[in-house]
Amino acid sequence: MTGDGWTHDVIVIGSGFAGLSAASMLAERGRKVVVLEARNRLGGRATSFRDGMTGELVDNGQHVLFGCYRETRRFLTRIGAADRLRLQPQLDVTSIDESGRRTRLVCPPLYPPLNLLAGLLEWDALDFRDRCACFKLAGPLRLAKREMRGGAGVRAASTGETVTGWLVRHGQTRRLRELLWEPLALAALNQSPDVAAAPTFVRALALMSGTSPSDSAVALPARPLEEFYASPARSFIEAHGGEVRTGVTARVRTDGEQLHEVEADADRLRGPVVISAVPWFALTELFPSGPPLPLCSVCDAADATDSSPIATVNLWLDRPVIDRPFVGLPGRTMQWVFDKRLVFGNATSHLSLVASGAGAITGLSNRAIIELATDELCTALPAAGDAVVTRATVVREPRATFSLAPGQPARPGVETGLSGFLLAGDWIDTGLPGTIEGAVVSGHLAAEAALRLMVPHVGR
Ligand SMILES: Cc1cc2nc3c(=O)[nH]c(=O)nc-3n(C[C@H](O)[C@H](O)[C@H](O)COP(=O)(O)OP(=O)(O)OC[C@H]3O[C@@H](n4cnc5c(N)ncnc54)[C@H](O)[C@@H]3O)c2cc1C
């Protein structure tokens, strides 16, 4: 775009974690930003809505963060919402296995990976053989950390290998895989470890066994997602002179191989930088006359990227049935149950049961999914059998995350061949899986790239 008639410094399309983190960083640095969001609410795939019957704010799915989500915590601190994240001091997870046995994995406050190894050695779910097997991952994890620091020629896992293949190659026993690695891989990758490629999982593991005992600790939003980050981000951007518009489907017009303008309903917006923070499945649609030449291969790859679903069942019961904020249910379709009252406080009263990599059930009726979730809950927690279900809802997110299966198209970088047009979103090549942290890392990278692009325009 030429410098004539600019309406904004940066136009950000999409108000998920990626768009809001990019916009808030730019607003903090004094840039005039506008965020355009097609839906009537903020947050994209991490959002909440009001339940019609109870009036409670309900998330589109439980979002779990980890202590190693450093860029996310930086974003939350910026927008004044860091106190809305409840971080365990160190990893502490209670699970109920398929036989109904309840165990607790607690890692002591030692430097990684000693904290994880000590926690696993003490975990009474494992026998002697399983415990010995844990040590076999110490070497590969060290290698993964070296690879992340840019160690030349170091590969902790190969791209054609699945997570299960990698775990078996490193001697992880069946019980360790079923009780620990499979639930972790499903939660982190939203895909069965038999299908997902190993490198992204290994990188996530290396981050979790990072530098502090809290890197592997679970962190939960203490408020519904709307209040956790979306509204605070909006207030921050507006307080710094920016705008956030909802219910506006943006379209990008190009002039040959140049950015021309962004259509936002009747408005025509112009600025030196546009950041697309839309998901892989919405990129091509940004260009009503087809993608410009420099973006054709990126759009083709985005269109060819598969998605992986998540299903959530929300159950309102007439009494509490669990005594901690979350419990793992390994080996079941619903892999985790969260008690939102223990997470959010008394303004909420439901349980959320989560099925990641939920391709096998998203085609079932709501009734069938609710029955499945209720059966699994009652089998794992017999106390739930005495409770009365007063309300039950299902939330399906068919395109919750992009597929990490071997053979998927390469993920693009932040910078593109179209001058002034940057990409953000969890699907950008950050090396991380489709997570909040991946989205925020990409948002911050895009904001930094935008600042670099604008340097020549300062003081215009
Ligand atoms: C049910 C569920 C559970 C999850 N659980 C976890 C978890 O436990 N931990 C974790 O880290 N991650 C989790 N994730 C993944 C996480 O939610 C995503 O990785 C992250 O929210 C992606 O953010 P984003 O900004 O990249 O994209 P999005 O959130 O998809 O935001 C993109 C936005 O762009 C908007 N948009 C699209 N086209 C246009 C247009 N033309 N004009 C204007 N706006 C447009 C969309 O409406 C959307 O709001 C989960 C996801 C789901 C769905």
Residue 15 Cβ inside 6 Å of ligand 1? The answer reads: yes
Percent of residues in the chain assigned helix, strand, coil, to nearest 5: 35, 20, 40
Closest ligand 1 atom to Cα of 285:
41
Q: pLDDT by residue for the chain (460 residues), tens digit each? A: 556 689 999 999 999 999 999 999 999 999 999 999 999 999 999 999 999 999 999 999 999 999 999 999 999 999 999 999 999 999 999 999 999 999 999 999 999 989 999 999 999 999 999 999 998 998 999 899 988 888 767 788 998 999 999 999 999 999 999 999 999 999 999 999 999 999 999 999 999 988 899 999 999 999 999 999 999 999 999 999 999 999 999 999 998 788 989 999 999 999 999 999 999 999 999 999 999 999 999 999 999 999 999 999 999 999 999 999 999 999 999 999 999 999 998 777 899 999 999 999 999 999 999 999 999 999 999 989 999 999 999 999 999 999 999 999 999 999 999 999 999 999 999 999 999 999 999 999 999 999 999 975 444 4
Residue 456: what pLDDT? 57
Residue 101: what pLDDT? 96
Residue 418 Cβ inside 6 Å of ligand 1? The answer reads: no
Given ligand 1 and candidates 86, 428, 436, which is best to mutate, with the most ligand atoms within 8 Å of its CB? 436
Residue 436 Cβ inside 6 Å of ligand 1? The answer reads: yes
Residue 458: what pLDDT? 47
Whole-angstrom Cα distance, residue 17 to residue 6?
A: 26
Residue 88 Cβ inside 6 Å of ligand 1? The answer reads: no
Q: Which CATH architecture has domain 10-48+224-305+406-457?
A: 3-Layer(bba) Sandwich (3.50)
Intervals of CATH 3.90.660.20 along the chain: 307-402
Nearest C-alpha to atom 37 of ligand 1 is from which residue?
278
Residue 357 Cβ inside 6 Å of ligand 1? The answer reads: no
Intervals of CATH 3.50.50.60 along the chain: 10-48+224-305+406-457
Pairing of strands 389-402, 326-328: unpaired
Contact present, 305 and 427 (Cβ < 8 Å): yes
Count other Cβ atoms within 10 Å, centred on residue 250.
25
Closest ligand 1 atom to Cα of 436:
11
> Domain 307-402 belongs to what topology?
Polyamine Oxidase; Chain A, domain 2 (3.90.660)
Whole-angstrom Cα distance, residue 79 to residue 264?
A: 26
Residue 211: what pLDDT? 87
Whole-angstrom Cα distance, residue 23 to residue 32?
A: 9
Whole-angstrom Cα distance, residue 275 to residue 450?
A: 8
Residue type, 228: F
The Å distance, Cα 45 to ligand 1 centre, comes to 3
